[in-house]
Amino acid sequence: MASLKEIKTRIGSTKKTKQITKAMEMVSAAKLNRAQGKTEAFQPYIRKIREVVESIAQGTGDISHPMMEEREEIRKTGYIVITSDRGLCGAYNSGLLRETYKLIQERHSSQDEYGIVVIGKIGRDFFKKRDMPIIQEIVGINDQPDYNDIKNIAQTTVQMYADEVFDKVYIHFNHFLSAISQEVTEAKLLPLTGLAEEAEKKQEEVKQEAKPRLDYLYEPDPDTILEKLLPHYAETLIYGSLLDAKASEFGARMSAMRSATDNADNRIGELTLSYNRARQAAITQEINEIVGGAAAQS
């Protein structure tokens, strides 16, 4: 059985740990609020770009673009994987990496068939440890990232698809559901198929609701606009996924630190009970020794 001094030392160290986890929980909560605000503020921009692209794709049936067409032969697939740079966020990274690794192993029999673009130190170390082909990597992104932080890697990835280095590109990240819930998500980034069909579906809904149709005037012409807009649209999808993943990361870290704080409270209670019992046993032992000594002298 541990001595009174050892138990008291454990109680002190656990209290210090609780202070740290509580502080980290509060910091993560503040960062989560900022990340949620940034994610929500970015959504109208993505929706408007998509609306314009869908309008061009639906309004001009003869328009075609390589980024909107499925390729007959898929020789190499790209995976953009968004993880965090730090741990202490529960299963945020492990769940995502486990699912990504599983899908890659099921889909590909050779490393020549895929390449990985990884964001975050945890993901980079995971794939390097398994000798998986990392095409690009970026670590040390700000907690509240700007587009310029991932501009280069986003543009390069989209360009690799345009140059047919990749024939299909997926993006893997944790989608934010709530402060205590995230969902591992795989989204097909390229090609941008189905835009025309989705635009037609929305247009039909507008007709049924008797709403006026939005018509755009294009200058110089739809082909030129698509040539510039589609790559940028794909890049904004990458950035939007990063913002979503950051909100999920802070939510996961806040939940993990809250759980750690609760566990510390429970442990402090258990140690305090053990300390009180040990102290009571020591007092009882002293009383017995005093009574025994007095009886021996009488």
Q: What is the mean pLDDT of residues 110-122?
A: 95
Say whether both 150 and 235 belong to one domain: yes
Say whether both 231 and 270 belong to one domain: no
Say whether both 209 and 69 belong to one domain: yes
Say whether both 280 and 189 belong to one domain: no
pLDDT tens string 236-275: 999 999 999 999 999 999 999 999 999 999 999 999 998 8
Q: Which residue has the higher pLDDT, 53 or 152?
A: 152
Question: Which CATH number is 12's domain given?
Answer: 1.10.287.80
Mean pLDDT of the chain: 87
In a domain, 276, yes or no: yes
Q: Which residue has the higher pLDDT, 53 or 113?
A: 113
Say whether both 39 and 123 belong to one domain: yes
β-partners of residue 134 are: 116
The token pair that represents 122 in the structure block = 């945890």
In a domain, 56, yes or no: yes
Count of other CB atoms within 10 angstroms of residue 88: 14
Say whether both 41 and 93 belong to one domain: yes
In a domain, 181, yes or no: yes
Question: Which CATH number is 64's domain given?
Answer: 3.40.1380.10
Say whether both 76 and 104 belong to one domain: yes
pLDDT of 137 reads 94
Say whether both 13 and 95 belong to one domain: no
List Cβ<8 Å contacts ≥24 apart for 190-194. Answer: 190/67, 190/78, 190/158, 190/161, 190/166, 190/234, 191/66, 191/67, 191/68, 191/69, 191/70, 191/71, 191/161, 192/53, 192/67, 192/68, 192/230, 192/233, 192/234, 193/68, 193/69, 193/70
Say whether both 248 and 278 belong to one domain: no
Say whether both 9 and 106 belong to one domain: no
In a domain, 90, yes or no: yes
Q: What is the mean pLDDT of residues 199-214?
A: 58
Residue 1 has pLDDT above 80, yes or no: no
In a domain, 63, yes or no: yes
Say whether both 22 and 34 belong to one domain: no
In a domain, 296, yes or no: no
The token pair that represents 271 in the structure block = 């140690």
Tokens 């989705």: give the residue. 198
Global confidence as pTM: 0.85
In a domain, 297, yes or no: no
Say whether both 9 and 36 belong to one domain: no
The token pair that represents 1 in the structure block = 């059985």
In a domain, 298, yes or no: no
Number of domain units in the chain: 2
**Domain of 17?**
4-26+256-291
Q: Tell me the pLDDT band of 225, cut-offs 50, 70 and 90.
A: confident
Q: Which residue has the higher pLDDT, 212 or 89?
A: 89
pLDDT tens string 150-202: 888 899 999 999 898 999 999 999 999 998 899 999 999 988 876 655 655 65
Q: Assign 3-class secondary structure to 252-279.
A: HHHHHHHHHHHHHHHHHHHHHHHHHHHH
Q: What is the mean pLDDT of residues 270-286?
A: 86
Residue 131 has pLDDT above 90, yes or no: yes
